[in-house]
Structure 1
Amino acid sequence: MSDPIRSMCKSLRLAYVAEIYETIPFESPSQYLEAIFNEEFSLREKAKVQRLIKNAKFLDAKNLSNYEWNERIRFPAQIDKEALMSLDFIKQQQNVVLIGSPGTGKTHLATGLGRKACEMGHEVRFFRVSHLIEQLEQALKQDKLPSFRKKFEKVDLIILDEMGYLPFSKEGSELLFQLIAEWYEQKSLIITSNLEFSQWNRIFIDSRLTAALVDRLIHHAHVLTYSGGSYRLSNALSKAK
């Protein structure tokens, strides 16, 4: 392709036409234009999904296609597996809370749902809760808390992984509460925890703050519970035999 045509593609923001025009079969002018534009749209969509996945900052590449659903996962009455995977809860600014022992597959499901949300065009962010607390405390010390919170304005789904694995300071608890309070009925959250709600006082020092936080989280939430012990451990032991 000549430089002038490449320049025009750039001006028209046709990011891929210059690279693919020779690969499109030509049967007629209208067919060719339709085919090349369809390919442009398709490649743009793929690039967008990859950008969303990169911005989400998942810790691994786990997805729903290799998730092992089993009878140990107890769904609430108002939602089932298919409804959960439809991600309608995001459109309704509802939350999903996954509670169970470590190693039972909660993070895998949360990541898989988050990755599918990216594929559907949603802005997603993934955090280990302890890391989010660290970032909040650092932003506060540097007087950058407003700008840090502003980063979530266009985010549709926030995944908070491992709530309860580490206790928080009073300051960290308050900062997290303020953030979740801002997201209430504005964003969807997926939270994984090894503790039942009645045990969250172990990580949040203030019992009144804990009660207010839980109240906001479960008001529009689907709570899934995992019974049994660690799947990772049992799987490792079975392979060792």
Structure 2
Amino acid sequence: MSDQIRSMCKSLRLAYVSEIYDSIPFESPSQFLEALFKEEFRLREKAKVQRLIKNARFLDSKSLSNYEWTERIRFPTQIDKDGLMSLDFIKLKQNVVLIGAPGTGKSHLATGLGRKACELGYEVRFYRVSTLIEQLEQALKQDKLPSFRKKFEKVELIILDEMGYLPFSKEGSELLFQLIADWYEQKSLIITSNLEFSQWNRIFIDSRLTAALVDRLIHHAHVLTFNGGSYRLSNALSRAR
């Protein structure tokens, strides 16, 4: 392909035509152009999904395709497995809360749902709650809190992993509450926790703040309970045997 044509592709923002045109079979001019542009669109969509997944900052590559659904997951009456996997809760700006003991598959499911959301074109962010608190406190110290909160304007799904594994300072609790209050009825959250709501006072210290936070989270939420012991522990024991 000539430099002139390559330059024109760049001006027209055809990112892939110059790379793929010679691999497209030619049967007729119209067939060639249709196949060429279809491949351009396909590669654009693939690149977009990769960008969304990168921006989400998942901690691993787990997905729904290798998630093990078991009867130990208790669904609320208003949603089932198919309803959850449809991700309609994001359109409705509803929350999903996954509660259960460590190692029962909560983070895997949260990551899988987040990755699927990226594949469907949603802006997603994944945070360990302790990491988010650290970043909020750092932003406050550097007088950058407004710009930090602004980063979430276009985000449609936020995953907060491991709520309750570490207690927060009073300042950290208040900062997280303010952020979740901003997101209330504006975005969808997926939260994983090893503690039932009645035990969240352990991590948030202030009982009134805890009550206000839980009220916002569960107002439009699907709460799934994970029963039984740790998958990781049982797998490790079976390997040891």
- How would you bin the TM-score normalised by the shorter chain? over 0.9
**SS state at 1:143 partner:** coil
Partner of 1:69, secondary structure, is coil
- Name the CA distance, whole Å, in 2 between partners of 1:47 and 1:95: 28
Unaligned runs of 5+ residues in structure 2 are none
Match of 1:65 in 2: 65
Deviations 1:142-166 (A, max 9, x none): 0000000000000000000000000
Residue 87 of structure 1 corresponds to which residue in structure 2? 87
In 2, the alpha carbon distance for the partners of 1:236 and 1:86 equals 32
Aligned to 2:17: 17
Q: What is the identity, as a one-letter code, of the residue corresponding to 1:127?
A: Y
Deviation at 1:229, TM superposition (A): 1.1
How far residue 57 of structure 1 moved from its aligned partner, in angstroms, is 0.0
TM-score w.r.t. length of structure 2: 1.00
Q: Tell me the C-alpha RMSD between the 2 structures.
A: 0.3
Match of 2:209 in 1: 209
Distance 1:35 1:186 in 2: 40
SS at match of 2:97: strand
Q: 2-side partners of 1:133 and 1:207: how far apart?
A: 19
* Offset of residue 24 of structure 1: 0.2
Q: Please name the residue that 1:228 is paired with.
A: 228
Match in the other structure for 1:78: 78
Counterpart of 1:191? 191
* Match of residue 155 from structure 1: 155
Percent of matched pairs sharing the same residue: 88
What SS class does the counterpart of residue 203 from structure 1 fall into? helix
1:129 maps onto 2:91 in alignment: no
* Corresponding residue number in structure 2 for 1:4: 4
Mapped partners of 1:235, 1:218: distance in 2: 33
Secondary structure of the corresponding residue to residue 234 of structure 1: helix
Quote how far apart the aligned CAs of 1:239 are. Answer: 1.1
Q: What letter corresponds to residue 227 of structure 1 in structure 2? A: N
Write the distance in 2 (CA, Å) between the matches of 1:4 and 1:145: 47
What amino acid does structure 2 have at the position aligned with 1:187?
K
Query: Which segments of structure 1 move beyond 4 Å, counting only runs of 4 or more?
Result: none
Cα-to-partner distance string for 1:181-219 (whole Å, 9 max, x where unaligned) = 000000000000000000000000100000000000000
- Structure 2 counterpart of 1:47, one-letter code: A
Alignment of structure 1 residues 32-111 onto 2, 5 Å = 32-111=32-111
